[in-house]
Amino acid sequence: MRYVHLPEGSDDHSGHGMKAHWGERTVVHQGRDVLYLLTDAVVDTVCCGDRVFHYATVLGYVKEWQSEKDEHGLPVSSVEPVVDSSTQRQIEDLLKREDSELQVSFRSEQSRDSLRKTG
């Protein structure tokens, strides 16, 4: 799966009550680098005030790191999605060692394809 690296930063949606900040991170699992996005989002709700979400989206094992550029000059890496449920649990446990409240999800070719069909 191709992954286009976006500039690290924040995404403010003025008037929509949401702010998000993300960054790319890697963690070593069984001798291989695993690429994931770490995101902090604050959603301002009318009824309850601010709600904070802290989550990681695991993109997969790094096969080739920033080996090419896309048409906009952004670096592109090749990643192998983590599809085995046992391996996913191991990686989730590894990520939660630093933050036990972290919500973890895994990207796969199927999730990317379903987004493409609905978007």
Over the stretch 75-99, which tens digit does the pLDDT of each residue have?
A: 999 999 999 999 999 999 999 998 8
Distance of CA 81 to the CA centre of its chain: 12
Confidence of residue 12 (pLDDT cuts 50, 70, 90): low
| Residue 51, C-beta contacts closer than 8 angstroms, at least 6 positions apart | 42, 43, 45
Q: Which domain holds residue 62?
A: 2-118
pTM over 0.85: no
Domain count, the chain: 1
Return the pLDDT at 11. 62
Determine the Cα–Cα distance for residues 67 and 21; give it in Å rounded to an integer: 25
Return the pLDDT at 107. 92
